[in-house]
């Protein structure tokens, strides 16, 4: 198996832990994305895996081989950098061939591999051009061709398309996915762009402040964030996070009260795990897609209980297939909703709108630990 395993990785610069005891695995043939804000340690993880940086502690296993302390050239890792890592005085052929020559590969095999990778990425007409004469998109393809020519055990991509304009980014992303599918090896891709991550990843690891926040599929992260950071980071717009207090309503049902007269009723499966939390503070996570115009609830299969609230529309942003609507409740609670199939002309800033909130999509967080409460199954 070609699985990549990162075990309890630690890397510090001075007193700062850039990587704080991080563990994850990337399966053979899996496209795995490290997503998070800049400065969170994502690129450092790639540098440690490739051998550019040395870990302070922890292990890296590649295809069941411990590569933690072996030289970079002996790790058989293919890496594509943000700045492409090309040699400006060399032409396209020489840049693609350089790593193969360094490994002592026969010239005939090098020529075959360079030709195949250049053909696949549309670089054959440019094969004799010097790197400095190429556009950013062309240089990015040369960097990918160099990785493609190498039969590596793992492929690492460090924000490889962030320097390109939007049109070129889309094409480059397709090229990277093509390379991955051809090789069917573990691929590890770093980005701070969640739309990019959601579009290409089999699984995503959220990294922030040097720590692994959560690993999961796109749906896992959006629907079941493990903590307040993930809930507030993932999604466009992200989950609404509103502070309230646990209470019991007049019918004996558990609810969260935000302000007097403004509360959400919780599904019954929260009763047991939160039995002892009455009167304590909680952060409620409400996905924007869980908020509907009350007039539409009859047409949707929503999970009981529904809480009906009336708020003021403060902002409307029409998009291609949906509308983002900002709402204000009781003048103090703000939330964003995503409406689909709603007439924009019916949503006027400053007007009142009655909405229903799907209780089955609500998530609850402990404000002290910032971790999600686990509901009863």
Model pLDDT, residue 261: 87
Whether 365 and 373 have beta carbons less than 8 Å apart is answered as yes
Model pLDDT, residue 171: 83
Model pLDDT, residue 305: 63
Model pLDDT, residue 42: 96
Q: Across all residues in the chain, what is the average pLDDT?
A: 91
Model pLDDT, residue 37: 94
CATH numbers and ranges of domains, the chain: 4-231 (3.40.50.300), 240-365 (2.40.50.140)
Going residue by residue through the chain, which has 377 residues, state the pLDDT in tens, using 9 for 90 and above. 459 999 999 999 988 889 999 999 999 999 999 999 999 999 999 999 999 999 999 999 999 999 999 998 889 898 888 777 888 989 999 999 988 888 888 999 999 999 999 998 889 999 999 999 998 888 988 988 998 888 899 999 999 888 778 877 888 888 889 889 988 999 999 999 999 999 999 999 999 999 999 999 999 999 999 999 999 999 989 999 999 999 988 777 889 999 998 999 898 888 888 878 889 999 999 999 999 998 875 545 555 567 889 999 999 999 989 999 999 999 889 999 999 989 998 899 999 999 999 988 999 999 999 999 998 76
pLDDT digit string, tens, across residues 332-364: 899 999 999 899 988 999 999 999 999 889 999
Model pLDDT, residue 11: 96
Q: How far is the C-alpha of 283 from the C-alpha of 364, rounded, in Å?
A: 6
Residue 320 structure tokens = 């291609």
Q: How far is CA 216 from CA 25, 184, 198, 201, 352, in A?
A: 12, 20, 11, 10, 38
Model pLDDT, residue 251: 79
Model pLDDT, residue 2: 55
**What is the secondary structure of 209-263 as a DSSP string?**
TTEEEEEE-HHHHHHS-SBHHHHHHSBTTB-EEEEEEEEE-TTS-EEEEEETTEE
What is the side-by-side order of every strand in the sheet holding 16-26? Answer: 16-26, 4-13, 57-62, 65-66
């Amino acid at each position: 198996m070609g699985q990549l395993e990162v075990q309890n990785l630690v890397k510090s610069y001075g007193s700062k832990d850039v990587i704080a005891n991080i563990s994850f695995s990337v399966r053979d043939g899996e496209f795995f994305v490290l997503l998070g804000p800049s400065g969170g340690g994502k690129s450092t993880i790639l540098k440690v895996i490739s051998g550019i940086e040395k870990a302070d502690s922890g292990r890296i296993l590649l295809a069941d081989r411990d590569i933690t302390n072996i030289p970079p050239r002996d790790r058989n890792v293919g890496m594509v950098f943000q700045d492409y890592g090309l040699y400006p005085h060399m032409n396209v052929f020489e840049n693609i061939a350089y790593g193969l020559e360094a490994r002592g590969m026969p010239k005939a095999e090098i020529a075959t591999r360079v030709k195949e990778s250049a053909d696949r990425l549309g670089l054959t007409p440019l094969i004799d051009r010097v790197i400095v004469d190429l556009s950013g998109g062309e240089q990015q393809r040369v960097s990918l061709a160099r990785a493609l020519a190498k039969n590596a055990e793992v492929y690492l991509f460090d924000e490889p398309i962030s320097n390109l304009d939007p049109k070129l980014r889309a094409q480059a992303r397709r090229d990277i996915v093509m390379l991955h599918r051809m090789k069917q090896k573990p691929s590890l891709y770093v980005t701070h762009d969640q739309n990019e991550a959601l579009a290409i990843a089999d699984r995503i690891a959220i990294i922030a402040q040097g720590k692994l926040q959560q690993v999961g599929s796109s749906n896992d992260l959006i629907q079941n964030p493990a903590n307040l950071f993930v809930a507030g980071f993932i999604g466009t717009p992200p989950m609404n996070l509103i502070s309230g207090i646990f209470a019991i309503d007049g019918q004996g049902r558990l609810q969260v009260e935000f302000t007097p007269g403004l509360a959400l009723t919780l599904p019954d499966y929260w009763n047991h795990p939160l039995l002892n939390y009455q009167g304590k503070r909680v952060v409620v996570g409400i996905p924007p897609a869980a908020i509907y115009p009350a007039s539409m609830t009859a047409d949707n299969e929503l999970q009981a209980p529904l809480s009906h609230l009336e708020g003021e529309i403060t902002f409307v942003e029409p998009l291609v297939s949906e509308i983002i609507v900002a709402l204000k409740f009781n003048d103090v609670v703000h939330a964003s909703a995503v409406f689909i199939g709603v007439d924009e002309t019916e949503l006027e800033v400053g007007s009142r709108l009655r909405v229903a909130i799907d209780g089955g999509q609500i998530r609850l967080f402990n404000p002290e630990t910032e971790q999600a409460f686990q509901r009863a199954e």
